[in-house]
């Protein structure tokens, strides 16, 4: 399966659990309350749910239905986490019930809704879908609130959700926080160009200088810069195991691969626009307000060349929340690696879970 031109996804995964309360693929499932016994039981569901007037793909996995629920908002846009759901975060299901959702224009949701393929995407539309997913999960699993988690593109979408319906969420945990397209691409351009010059990489210097500093009207410019940035990130980070990117059975078919690639291509064009007029260039989450009604924890790779440390730190410094904390991750870039995964789990376990368990009693 090819990598996206954006590669914004924070690819979160989970294990398939035996002995589940429900362990079948469900089609067009409603928000029927799940019976969770006092002793706890595993839950394992996957299927299409009616969200925003279309069928959207949702998976739910956990070893104990009494555990707090984490709603994972994937990046890209257009890069679902679900194909890699059996590797990266298998142990998370011990203490959390993990919910993943293929956003409109992505993965199985893209494949199931051919009538939507000419319809434009917007941050507001996708956030409305995400809030509806959250309400569905809240009702289905019988939870007061969910833990909201997003990475890169998913971090901007998650902030929109958190600011729109704060009563739905215990806390927000963001990784590689996308703040402002204008600020993020400007600092990314300078960072990548500087790394290329320091390395004496004349070919990359020429390639980056050729697209010029943003703003861009060339839809290829973002992808060119991202490929260059990933090249240098690779020399500065702890790499992710190749085994992480083996798709789960059911996501390894030619049809799914075709849907995945078509969805990410569509979403990429929607993000950058054909003339610099996509939903990305309009994005600045600071306009949503910087006061949060829930705890906020931001995680940032020190070697990230897409959502750079300085922009994320400045945004964090500007916000107010009942609790907030910023975590710098050494030897970590924009994409997932073992350091990122370990830090995410530590934050969820030590900062978020204790309060969520008490609140759900």
- Asked whether 167 and 142 are in contact (CB, 8 A), the reply is no
**Please, what sign has the CA dihedral across residues 9, 15, 21, 27?**
positive
Residue with tokens 């839950």: 43
pLDDT at 32: 81
- Asked whether 195 and 305 are in contact (CB, 8 A), the reply is yes
pLDDT at 26: 47
Residue range of the domain that includes 273: 20-360
What mean pLDDT is predicted for residues 159-181?
98
Q: What is the CATH number of the domain that holds 332?
A: 3.40.50.1820
- Asked whether 256 and 108 are in contact (CB, 8 A), the reply is yes
Residue 14 included in any domain: no
- Asked whether 211 and 185 are in contact (CB, 8 A), the reply is no
Phi, psi of 314 (to 5 degrees): -65, -40
Residue 1 included in any domain: no
The pLDDT of residue 3 is above 60: no
pLDDT at 84: 87
What mean pLDDT is predicted for residues 292-305?
98
Residue 11 included in any domain: no
Query: Tens digits of per-residue pLDDT, 198-223?
Result: 999 999 999 999 999 999 999 999 99
Total domains in the chain come to: 1
Q: How far apart, in whole angstroms, are the C-alpha atoms of residue 164 and residue 159?
A: 8
- Report residue 154 as tokens: 């998913």
The pLDDT of residue 14 is above 60: no
Residue 247 included in any domain: yes
**Please, what sign has the CA dihedral across residues 150, 151, 153, 159?**
positive
pLDDT at 361: 87
pLDDT at 89: 78
Q: Provide the H-helix boundaries in 214-348.
A: 221-233, 254-272, 309-318, 338-347
Angle among Cα 161, 186, 298 to the nearest 5 degrees reads 40
Residue with tokens 């990305």: 280
pLDDT at 2: 43
Residue 33 included in any domain: yes
**Please, what sign has the CA dihedral across residues 108, 248, 76, 129?**
positive
Residue 185 included in any domain: yes
Residue 6 included in any domain: no
Burial state string for 323-344 with b = 16 or more CB within 10 A and e = fewer than 16: ebebbebeebbbbbbbbbbebb
Residue 2 included in any domain: no
Provide the pLDDT confidence category of residue 114 given band limits of 50, 70 and 90: very high
pLDDT at 6: 35
The pLDDT of residue 297 is above 90: yes
* Percent of the chain surpassing pLDDT 70: 91
Query: Tens digits of per-residue pLDDT, 309-351?
Result: 999 999 999 999 999 999 999 999 999 999 999 999 999 999 9
What mean pLDDT is predicted for residues 12-26?
35
Burial state string for 123-138 with b = 16 or more CB within 10 A and e = fewer than 16: bebbbbbbbbbbebbb
Query: Tens digits of per-residue pLDDT, 101-112?
Result: 999 999 999 999
Average pLDDT of every residue of the chain: 91
Higher pLDDT, 87 or 173: 173
pLDDT at 30: 63
- Asked whether 226 and 335 are in contact (CB, 8 A), the reply is no
Phi, psi of 9 (to 5 degrees): -70, 135
- Asked whether 192 and 176 are in contact (CB, 8 A), the reply is no
- Report residue 280 as tokens: 């990305």
Provide long-range contacts, Cβ within 8 A and 24+ apart, for 27-31. Answer: 28/55, 29/58, 29/140, 31/135, 31/136, 31/139, 31/140
Q: From residue 185, how far is each of 2, 189, 191, 212, 349 by CA, in Å?
A: 23, 6, 10, 11, 33
3 state SS of 261: helix
Higher pLDDT, 68 or 12: 68
């Amino acid at each position: 399966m090819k990598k996206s031109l954006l590669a914004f996804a924070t690819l979160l995964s989970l294990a398939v659990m035996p002995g589940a309360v429900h362990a079948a693929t469900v089609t067009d499932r409603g928000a029927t309350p799940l019976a969770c016994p006092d002793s706890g039981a595993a839950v394992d569901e996957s299927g299409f749910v009616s969200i925003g007037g279309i069928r959207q793909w949702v998976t739910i996995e956990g070893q104990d239905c009494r555990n707090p629920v984490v709603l994972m908002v994937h990046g890209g846009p257009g890069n679902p986490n679900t194909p890699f759901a059996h590797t990266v975060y298998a142990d998370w299901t011990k203490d959390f019930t993990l919910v993943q959702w293929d956003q409109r224009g992505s993965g199985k949701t893209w494949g199931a809704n051919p009538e939507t393929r000419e319809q434009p995407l917007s941050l507001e539309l996708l956030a409305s879908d995400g809030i509806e997913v959250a309400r569905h999960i809240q009702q289905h699993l019988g939870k007061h609130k969910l833990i909201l988690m997003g990475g890169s593109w998913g971090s901007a979408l998650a902030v929109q959700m958190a600011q729109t319906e704060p009563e739905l969420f215990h806390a927000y945990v963001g990784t590689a926080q996308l703040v402002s397209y204008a600020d993020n691409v400007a600092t990314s351009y300078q960072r990548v160009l500087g790394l290329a010059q320091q390395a004496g990489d004349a070919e990359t210097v020429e390639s980056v200088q050729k697209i010029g500093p943003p703003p861009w009207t060339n839809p290829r410019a973002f992808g060119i810069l991202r490929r260059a940035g990933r090249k240098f990130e690779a020399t500065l980070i702890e790499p992710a195991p190749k085994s992480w990117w083996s798709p789960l059975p059911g996501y390894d078919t030619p049809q799914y691969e075709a849907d995945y690639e078509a969805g990410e291509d569509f979403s990429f064009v929607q993000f950058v626009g054909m003339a610099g007029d996509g939903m990305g260039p309009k994005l600045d989450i600071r306009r949503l307000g910087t006061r949060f009604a829930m705890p906020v924890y931001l995680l940032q790779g020190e070697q990230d060349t897409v959502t750079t440390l300085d922009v994320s730190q400045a945004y964090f410094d500007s916000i107010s929340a009942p609790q907030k904390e910023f975590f710098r991750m050494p030897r970590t870039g924009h994409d997932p690696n073992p350091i990122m995964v370990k830090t995410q789990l530590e934050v969820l376990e030590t900062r978020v879970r204790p309060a969520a368990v008490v609140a759900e009693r």
